[in-house]
Amino acid sequence: MADMLNIASVSANAFKRALEVTSHNVANVATDGYSRQRVELASNAPQLSGLGGGTNVSSVERVYSQYLQEQLYSSGSQLNRYESQLTMSKQVEGVVASNDDGVQQFMQRFFDSLQALSDNPTSSTSRQLVLEEARNLESHIGNLTSVLDDIQYQTNGQIRDITSEVNNRLETIQELNDRVEYAQNYSSQPPNDLLDRRDQAILEISEYIDVKAYYHENGSVDLYTGGGRLPLVSGNTLTRIESDISEYPDENRTELFMTIGGVRTQISDYIVGGQLGGVLDFRDKMLDQSQKDLGLTINGMVASINWQHFQGYDMGGDAGEEFFAALSSTGYAHQDNDGSSDNISVSFNPAQPASGFNGEPPYTAPTQPATYGDKQEYLENAYTAIGQMEPREYEVKYNGTSAEFEVYERGQRTLLGSFTAATPAIIDGLEFMADGTNYSDGDSFVVKPHRDILDDFQSAITDTDKIATRGQSPLDSDSDGSLDDEVPAAAAIGDNVNIANMAGLMNKKVLLADSSGLASESILGGYSKMSSNVGAYVRGTDILLEAQTNVQQQIIDQRESYSGVSLDEEAANLIRFQQAYEASAQIMSTSQQIFQTLIGIARG
C-alpha cells in the first residue's frame, strides 16, 4: 500500500508542477522574448521487486532555438539600420526637393541676367540686375547650406544619444550574465526566465548596433560588434563605446571610439547595423556626399565664371577681376600634430601656359598675360582643371623622411599625389600648398575644399562698372600677322563678347571630366546630379527596408511557431495534466480507503 501511495504522491507532485509550468506559459503569452517552457517527465527508478516508482519532473526546458535567436539579432539590426537611414535621408530629400526648383531657378535667373546684359552691355539697369541675381543665388545657397549644417549637428547628437543607450544596455547584459552564471552553478534547473530576459536584452541592443553573440557552457554570453571584431562584453568584461569629437577637432564631427588593449581606436567605419549603423551610413553616403556634390558644383561655377570674367574688360578698360570670392580652403589639423606646425591650404590656381606670364596668375592678382595667345591658353587650362575636380575630402600626411606631403582621399589608402613646402601640386584640378616650412613627421590634415566653398560662397563685385562685359582685341605690335604674338587690349565700349561667353556657361559642360578628359556635366547638371544622388539613396534604402521587413517577419513567425506560446496547446495541456493530477489524487484516495479497510479487518 505504501508503494501505491508513494507512486500516487510523487505523480501528483509532478503533474502539479506541470500545471504550474503550463500556467506560467499562459501568463507570459504576451511577454516579449518569452520562450515556451516544457516539463520533462521521467519514470522513477523501479524498486527491487521490479515494480515502477511513478514519475517525476526531470527538468523544465526552454523550447528554444539559438539559431533562430541569432537570426533575429542580425535581421532586426539590419531592419533598424534601414529604418534609421530612411527617416534621416527623407529629411534631406525634403530639403533638397523643396529647394530643387529654387536652386535651379536662382541659377537660371542669374544666367538669364547675364544674357540680358549681353543684349544691352552698357545698360546700368541690366548691370545692377546681374549683381542682384548673384546675391539672390548667394542667399539661396547659403540657406540650403545652413539647413544641411543643422542636419549634421543633429546627426552628431543622435550618434551621442544612441551610444549612451548602447552602453546602458550593455551594463544590463553584464548584470544578467552574472545572474545566469550564478544560477547555472547553484541550481539544478536552468534559469529559463533569466535566459529569456538576457536574449531579449541582446535583441533590444541589436536595434541600436550590430551584435554577434557567442554562448558558453557556463551560461555566459560574449557580445561583439563590427562584424564580430570589436568586443562589447567578453569574459563578462564590458568595453564601452565612446562618442567623441573626431581626431581633427576643428571640424566638429562626432566619431566612435573604443579602447582595446590600452589603445584608443576610431571604430565608426566598422559599425554596420542597428540605428547607429544607419545614422553613420546616412552621414557618410548621403549627407556628406550631398555637401561634397553641391560644393563641387559651386566650385565649378565660381571658377568658370571667374576665369571667363578675367578674359574681359570692365567699363574703365581694366581687366576683369574676381566675380565671386575664390576658393580658399585650409586644413583641419590632427589632434596629435606638433603645436608649432604650420597649416596647408587648397585653392583653384590652374597651371600657367608653357610660355609663361608677366606677373602673378590672374586668380591671385588679375594682371594681363604678355600675349593674346597666352591668355587663351590660360583659360583653356582653367577649364581643364575645373573638369578634373572630384567630390572628395582629402587627408594630407607629412612624411618627414622624404619631406613631402602625401595626399589621399579621406578614408582611402590610394596615394593621389604629393607636394613639398617649396613646390605646390595640382591634384584633382586644385592646388595643394604648404602655408609655411615648419612641420613635423606624422603631421596630418583634413581638407574639405568642396565643403568650405559652401560657407564662403559670395559675390566679390559690388560696383556695376566692374562687370567685364567687353571682350578683347589684339594690338598688332610687330605687324607679323601672328595673332598669338599680339598684346591683348579691351574691345570697344558696347562690345558684349565676354558677357555673352559668361552667359553661355549655363549650358557649357565644365564639370566631371570622363576618362577621355572631356567634361560631362554643366553647372546646372552638376546640381541635378547631386539631387538625383539624394533621390537614388532614398529609393535604394526604401527597397532594402521593404525586403528586410519581410525577412524579419518570416524569422519572427518561425520563432513564434517554434518557441511561442500557443493558447490552444496550453489549454489542451491544462486538461491533460489536470486529469492526470486528479487521477493521481484518486489513486491516493483509493490507497487510503484500502488502507482503512485493512486496518478495520485487522481490528475485527
The ranges assigned to domains in the chain are 2-63+564-585, 68-316+518-563
> What pLDDT sits at residue 356?
45
Terminal CA-CA length for the chain: 20
Determine how many CB atoms are found less than 10 A away from the CB of residue 468.
25
Grid-cell match 552602453, residue found: 167
Whether residue 472 contacts residue 313, with contact meaning beta carbons closer than 8 Å, is answered with yes
Kindly state the cell numbers that stand for 406: 602625401
- What is the DSSP code string of 84-113? HHHHHHHHHHHHHHHHHHHHHHHHHHHHHH
Beta-sheet strands, E only, within 331-373: 332-333, 344-347
d(CA 561, CA 567): 12
Amino acid at 537: Y
Grid-cell match 590610394, residue found: 414
d(CA 582, CA 363): 100
Q: In 187-219, which residue ranges form alpha helices assigned H by DSSP?
A: 192-205
> What pLDDT sits at residue 368?
57
Kindly state the cell numbers that stand for 4: 501505491
10-residue stretch averages of pLDDT, the chain, 604 residues long: 72 84 88 88 69 77 90 94 94 74 83 96 95 94 91 95 95 93 84 92 95 89 92 93 95 94 92 95 94 94 93 89 92 94 92 48 47 75 92 96 96 93 93 94 96 94 94 70 70 92 94 90 89 91 95 93 88 86 79 72 70
Kindly state the cell numbers that stand for 493: 565700349
> What pLDDT sits at residue 367?
52
d(CA 564, CA 579): 25
Amino acid at 584: S
**What order of strands is seen across the sheet that includes strand 242-245?**
242-245, 254-260, 263-266
Does pTM top 0.75 for this prediction? Answer: yes
Beta-sheet strands, E only, within 183-322: 212-215, 221-225, 230-234, 237-238, 242-245, 254-260, 263-266
Grid-cell match 489513486, residue found: 587
> What pLDDT sits at residue 379?
84
